[in-house]
């Protein structure tokens, strides 16, 4: 009985952690993503401030991460923060004054644009663009947190 209970708890914790994957965002203007955990590994690509990443695993002071295009690599923990950001994953998305398709359009954002996450509400996200524009975007056009 106790064995089954312990197994059940471990099973539940494992799948709960999968549902709430850890997210981080780049906190520097230029961060290098490497092929392995350490500065001796080759650079795969570079990312800019706010770019959201999902943490896949950890090794010492390094995080193995993946992005919205499923590209993976390693980044130093010192280069990321817990400030939530999103990236536009569709060709283009509409920015509105409020959460709903009946709200006035105030702008557009193209694929790859990074946005600061302010608030979530029923399938919509309030965002802030680097230009200072604040608005709402449908959640299913975005990737991140």
**What CATH number is associated with residue 44?**
2.30.30.40
Low-confidence ranges of the chain (pLDDT < 70): 1-20
**Which pLDDT belongs to residue 87?**
99
Q: Please say which residue of 81, 100, 130 terminates a domain.
A: 81
List, in order, residues 6 or more apart from 134 with CB less than 8 Å away.
118, 126, 127, 128
Reported pTM: 0.85
**Which pLDDT belongs to residue 21?**
87
With H, G, I as helix, E, B as strand and everything else as coil, classify residue 94. Answer: strand
**Which pLDDT belongs to residue 6?**
46
Residue 14 inside a domain? The answer is no
**Which pLDDT belongs to residue 3?**
57
Structure tokens at 74: 């390693």
CA dihedral sign, ordered 109, 113, 115, 119:
positive
CA dihedral sign, ordered 133, 139, 144, 145:
positive
Residue 71 inside a domain? The answer is yes
CA 7 from chain center: how many Å?
Answer: 31
Q: How many distinct structural domains can be found in the chain?
A: 2
125 & 95 share domain: yes
């Amino acid at each position: 009985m106790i064995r089954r209970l312990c197994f059940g708890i471990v099973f539940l914790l494992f799948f709960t952690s999968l549902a709430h994957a850890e997210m981080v965002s780049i906190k520097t203007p230029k961060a290098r993503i490497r092929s392995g955990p350490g500065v001796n590994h080759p650079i795969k690509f570079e990312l800019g401030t706010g770019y959201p990443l999902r943490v896949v695993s950890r090794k010492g002071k390094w995080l193995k991460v993946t992005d919205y295009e499923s590209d993976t690599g390693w980044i130093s923990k010192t280069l990321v923060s817990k400030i939530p950001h999103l990236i536009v994953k569709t060709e283009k998305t509409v920015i509105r004054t409020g959460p709903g398709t009946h709200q006035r359009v105030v702008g557009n954002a193209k694929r790859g644009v990074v946005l600061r996450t302010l608030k979530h509400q029923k399938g919509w996200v309030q965002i802030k663009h680097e230009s200072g524009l604040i608005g709402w975007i449908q959640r299913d056009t975005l990737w991140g947190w």
